[in-house]
Structure 1
Amino acid sequence: MDNLLEKIKQSATYISDKLPTIPKIGLILGSGLGELANEIENSVKIRYEDIPNFPVSTVEGHAGQLVIGQLHGQPVVAMQGRFHYYEGYSMQEVTFPVRVMKQIGVELLVVTNACGGMNKSFQPGDLMVITDHLNMTGANPLIGPNAAELGPRFPDMSHAYNPTYVTFVEEVAQRLEIPIRKGVYAGVSGPTYMSGAELIMLRELGGDVVGMSTVPEVIVARHANMNVIGISCVTDMAIGEDIKGITHEEVVEVANRTKPKFISLVKEIVATVQL
């Protein structure tokens, strides 16, 4: 654990030395949303491979860099490309950037993703604000020794997604006339897409959408006492009784088609959120 703390501080020092201001908002940009980072002004871009102790993103469609600067006047740090458990990284490696964000001053984490819609009332292209999650990955990034400097041994996840921020996102979407759903994100390990029986099970357990990211990052963010806003883009329907199959290319295509309204929503959230 001492080694983890040392690595976090090394990475944070490397990044902080390149920053004119302290970012208060962290953005994890999911599939199709990486272009938002291009709108960050006065930006400093740091490749993951140049940051001490950082993993390197290997997923097609994900860039691999931090972009730090101003978005609508707010100091932000954005991850263009995230790390996934299915890539072979440990949960600590997957969530390491969240730890570093906290160390450099981030107070609010806005995490986005592409997902499959299990709720039969949803449709591809829908945006959903996350109200809660199911951790179905079979792992947890907090397993192992705990350092009090990072957070409590037994952090409470009953309000991982602050209800006040959920309401705020709904209000922003209404103001922009962007339809938005709300619901529960079921996080799985991947990299396989789910079988019909698995999808039916997850829906029966209360999941509205399913994806292969987000949950570990949110667990660590809450462990570190960061507030969280989670937004999903439904790229395909994952109805177990009528499963049609899906490819990564199809997921990216729908995410790209949806990104103008997704980017508008995230930008307005950043511009108007109260920390």
Structure 2
Amino acid sequence: MRIFLSLISILMFFSSLFADDYFSTYFDKVDTSSLYLKETTNSNPKLLIVLTAGVDGPIDEMKDIIEVDSKDIPYFPKAKAQGHAGKLIFGKLNGKDIVLMKGRYHYYEGNTPQDVVFPYFVLNALGVESVITLNAVGGISQSLDPGDIMLVTDHINQLSENSLRGLSIQFPEKQFTDMTDAYSFEYQTLAKNVATAIDIELKEGIYLATQGPNYETKSEVKM
């Protein structure tokens, strides 16, 4: 029993060393990735649009397009889910520099939460200030039907992990992130106005994040 406990202690010790190294070099890797994109694209986008499988609409309206495969970006996670190409598409939309993320990086693919948010830190370092994200999800509310378009007004994190763990602590003045108004009221208002103008029914709801990759049981849906 003592030998077994000693082995566990040794494993925990080395695991902590690797974890410390991962977190301490995280933002160095962010800088390396953002520098690569800056040199490759010479772009300074302020807006990121995260596409979902089957949605390519904004690409058709863009000009001066530069595509970057995520596998070529240093330290970038690799997109594995079906329908997610794993590309960043830089270009101009209505004369403004934007970037599209064609293929998200999911927790259920085996990524750590910090891996999942790595691209967002990189693009923020490149100049991105706002994010519009799309995805296809299941609806557990009786008011939702397949094919509905829903505006996310808030979220509940049931992943049991936080993507900022080990990261925000490196910035003492910002280590506790205020999530009171995580979703831009200005963008929500804009989305509602556009939906009304083009006669699209836009529903509202709260996004519930779970680990996946399985769907919920009937009892979980009832909760």
Length-normalised TM-score, structure 1:
0.69
2:181 paired residue number: 159
Structure-2 separation of matches of 1:91 and 1:26: 20
| Deviation readout 1:210-268 (Å, 9 max, x if unpaired) | xxxxxxxxxxxxxxxxxxxxxxxxxxxxxxxxxxxxxxxxxxxxxxxxxxxxxxxxxxx
How far the C-alpha of 1:134 sits from its partner, in A, is: 0.6
Q: Which has the higher contact order (CA 8 A, sep 6+)?
A: 1
SS in structure 1 of the partner of residue 174 of structure 2: coil
Residue among 117, 134, 141 paired with 2:156: 134
2:170 paired residue number: 147
How far the C-alpha of 1:38 sits from its partner, in A, is: 4.7
Residue among 31, 37, 46 paired with 1:9: 31
1:68 paired residue number: 90
Structure-1 separation of matches of 2:190 and 2:57: 24
CA contact (8 A) 2:43 2:90 kept: no
Unmatched 5+ residue regions in structure 2? 1-22
Q: What is the Cα-based RMSD across aligned positions, in Å?
A: 1.6
CA contact (8 A) 2:157 2:209 kept: yes
Length-normalised TM-score, structure 2:
0.85
How far the C-alpha of 1:137 sits from its partner, in A, is: 1.1
1:225 paired residue number: none
2:195 paired residue number: 173
CA contact (8 A) 2:84 2:102 kept: yes
SS in structure 2 of the partner of residue 56 of structure 1: coil
Structure-1 separation of matches of 2:183 and 2:158: 17
Structure-2 separation of matches of 1:35 and 1:47: 19
CA contact (8 A) 1:11 1:51 kept: yes
CA contact (8 A) 2:113 2:163 kept: yes
Q: Which has the larger radius of gyration?
A: 2
Residue among 36, 48, 52 paired with 1:30: 52
CA contact (8 A) 2:77 2:105 kept: yes
Residue among 98, 109, 116 paired with 1:94: 116
Structure-2 separation of matches of 1:101 and 1:40: 19
1:245 paired residue number: none
SS in structure 2 of the partner of residue 186 of structure 1: strand
SS in structure 1 of the partner of residue 199 of structure 2: coil
SS in structure 1 of the partner of residue 64 of structure 2: strand
Structure-2 separation of matches of 1:48 and 1:10: 14
Unmatched 5+ residue regions in structure 1? 202-275
Percent of aligned pairs with the same amino acid: 35
How far the C-alpha of 1:178 sits from its partner, in A, is: 1.4
1:114 paired residue number: 136
Q: How many residues align?
A: 200
Q: Which amino acid aligns with 1:159?
A: D
How far the C-alpha of 1:74 sits from its partner, in A, is: 2.2
SS in structure 1 of the partner of residue 35 of structure 2: helix
